[in-house]
Amino acid sequence: MAFEELLDQVGGFGPFQLRNVVLLALPRIMLPMHFLLPIFLAAVPAHRCALPGTPANFSHRDAWLEGYLPREPDGTLSSCLRFSHPWSPHNTTMGEEKQSPGGLQGEPSTMPCPQGWEYDRSEFSSTIATEWDLVCEQKGLNRATSTFFFVGVLVGAVAFGYLSDRFGRRRLLLVAYVSALVMGLVSAASVSYIMFVITRTLTGTALAGFTIIVMPLELEWLDVRHRTVGGVLSSTFWTVGVMLLALVGYLIRDWRWLLLAVTLPCAPGILSLWWVPESARWLLTQGHVEEARRYLLRCARLNGRPVDEDSLSLEALSKVAAGERVVRRPSYLDLFRTTRLRHISLCCMVVWFAVNFSYYGLSLDVSGLGLNVYQTQLLFGAVELPSKLLIYLLVRHAGRRLTQAGALLGTALTLGGRLLVTSEMVSWSTALAVIGKGFSEAAFTTVYLFTSELYPTVLRQTGMGLTALVGRLGGSLAPLAALLDGVWLSLPKLTYGGIALLAACTALLLPETRQAQLPETIQDVERKSAPSSLQEEEIPMKQVHN
């Protein structure tokens, strides 16, 4: 008897599974609230050099500031420089014509802000940029906080993946909840930039447990026919988190309280684990037959299924456990031992890197769209839901390969279109940004489904682990690519779009999997069996963003 037959007896989709999906919705909602938190946490408000003796009430304030601050090429006052020798602003009267600094003998010398900066606090009362002056020459440190966070996610994914297979999903989910709560609280109490970066990186490591554990903990209780439904339900919680972040960020303008607000839900999450079941499949692979039996009986009771005691006897479950045990755990090297697997793995790595790189590059850039940051974030979240539903239809009719390539191509084209739009065409820039966000979300949704069908059953989890690892590397580099605007203002968008275009071409090199029998062994992949009319195994849509 296989484990799927046990699920058929106790109910593979019912109140037990729905309760499980609801209980595990919280970590899915929390993930985007932390992953996209830098939009508000590290926001850089308008700023200028702090000046001595700035008059509080002065009708010609801008004229007074011109005596201290040079102008940028676009005509705005500089945010990062001031004149070394101000040109007599105190002798200025309201009706008096003044000599501009450019008219003085020689070119006036400038210097960085020696007394720090003054910030516009009308939109944000406090961010980490205003807390530790992470602007101008230090703006790279501001971007680096997101990179360090995603590096923590990358490390945590490797650690939690191994530990959850060894010690169980439920136990490690508790570790992830507690660690995220503690590190989040310590991050909110940070007294220095170094302390914040360290604790924020460790928070990313803890949150990686959600990305690794929640998906199998849900799906291993679902039968094959309902995994797509479960996947769709679960993926919508990410979109809920994206939109909820806009609301929380609007209501809470101080970065410390905002960080607390998105961290404290870990507390009820810890309590909810009392009702979250351990994976019976994992328990059987580890030989914990009695505990697995208790959970299976509970599942049958909640689903209203009468259970034959003989089929759930310890002897029967021991036989199932023997069939579920893996003789040898596959390694990443197995993905490169044969020609076609090597081809698939290399192509998937490029696609996953580009999907994460472009998604987070677009998601974290909410400036210059004619909307405030809260409206932009809400709009970016709202466009994800129709994007998910559209992709769900396209992959079944147009195929996985064309859908993946088309979504990446759409992302690249919208980014390229924004390069051609002038700064005065704000509405066009906003429309292209929202469409691009929809395409990037579509690419993210498709890549989970497509990759899971390319690898054989014996290497599917290993292949997903490797490609997701490369994807997280792309996510960690996306914030740093934004610093390329110092070289050329349009270079970040060109980089995001260029890599998305490269991945779109790479996706076309992968084999189509629509209406194809899923490969079971490495030999099945190497034979490249032709598509058959066999019923497709229902593989879930995107389970979680990484």
- For residues 428 and 343, the answer to whether their CB atoms sit within 8 Å is no
- For residues 508 and 407, the answer to whether their CB atoms sit within 8 Å is no
pLDDT digit string, tens, across residues 390-407: 887 887 788 889 999 999
High-pLDDT (> 70) share of the chain, % = 85
The residues pairing with 254 across neighbouring beta strands, listed in sequence order, are 126
- Is the pLDDT at 121 greater than 80? The verdict is yes
As given in the structure block, the two tokens for residue 516 are 């194809």
Range from 40-54, 184-198, 324-338, 516-530 that averages highest in pLDDT: 184-198
Q: How far is CA 227 from CA 13, 483, 518, in A?
A: 9, 41, 15
Q: Which element (helix H / strand E) includes 61?
A: helix 61-66
Q: Which amino acid, 49?
A: C
- For residues 227 and 219, the answer to whether their CB atoms sit within 8 Å is yes
The Cα–Cα gap between 343 and 224 comes to 28
The mean pLDDT value for 338-367 works out to: 91
Q: Which residue has the tokens 């004229």?
A: 63
The mean pLDDT value for 499-507 works out to: 96
Contacts 24+ apart (CB under 8 A), 96-99: 98/63, 98/66, 98/67
Q: What's phi and psi for 97, nearest 5 deg?
A: -80, 140
91-100, 138-147, 405-414: range with lowest mean pLDDT: 91-100
Proportion of the chain in helix, strand, coil states, percent, rounded to 5: 65, 5, 30
The mean pLDDT value for 319-348 works out to: 78
The mean pLDDT value for 514-518 works out to: 69
Q: What is the pLDDT of residue 232?
A: 67
High-pLDDT (> 90) share of the chain, % = 34
The Cα–Cα gap between 54 and 116 comes to 14
Which residues make Cβ contacts (< 8 Å) with residue 107, sequence separation at least 6?
none
The mean pLDDT value for 56-61 works out to: 61
Helix (H, G, I), strand (E, B) or coil at 70: coil
The Cα–Cα gap between 446 and 453 comes to 11
The Cα–Cα gap between 10 and 299 comes to 6
- Is the pLDDT at 93 greater than 90? The verdict is no
> What is the pairing mode between strands 110-112 and 117-119?
unpaired
Q: What's phi and psi for 180, nearest 5 deg?
A: -65, -40
Nearest Cα residue to 500 out of 398, 407, 363: 407
- For residues 351 and 404, the answer to whether their CB atoms sit within 8 Å is yes
Strands (E), 73-225: 81-83, 110-112, 117-119
56-65, 414-423, 462-471, 527-536: range with lowest mean pLDDT: 527-536
How many CA atoms lie less than 13 Å away from 324 in the CB half-sphere? 25
Measured in residues, the chain has a length of: 546
Q: How far is CA 307 from CA 14, 296, 297, in A?
A: 15, 10, 8
- Is the pLDDT at 534 greater than 70? The verdict is no
Helix (H, G, I), strand (E, B) or coil at 47: strand
pLDDT digit string, tens, across residues 402-440: 999 999 999 999 999 988 888 778 888 889 999 999 999
Q: What is the pLDDT of residue 452?
A: 76
Residue 371 is given by DSSP the state S
- For residues 161 and 212, the answer to whether their CB atoms sit within 8 Å is yes
- For residues 185 and 263, the answer to whether their CB atoms sit within 8 Å is yes
The Cα–Cα gap between 122 and 136 comes to 20
The CA-CA-CA angle for residues 239, 243, 245, to 5°, reads 115
Q: How far is CA 529 from CA 342, 390, 410, 515, in A?
A: 17, 29, 31, 12
The Cα–Cα gap between 359 and 363 comes to 6
Q: What is the DSSP string of 260-281?
A: HHHHTTHHHHHHHTTTPPPPHH
- For residues 67 and 89, the answer to whether their CB atoms sit within 8 Å is yes
- For residues 330 and 458, the answer to whether their CB atoms sit within 8 Å is yes
- Is the pLDDT at 95 greater than 60? The verdict is no
- For residues 204 and 263, the answer to whether their CB atoms sit within 8 Å is no
The mean pLDDT value for 260-276 works out to: 94
- Of 413 and 469, the structure prediction assigns the larger pLDDT to 413
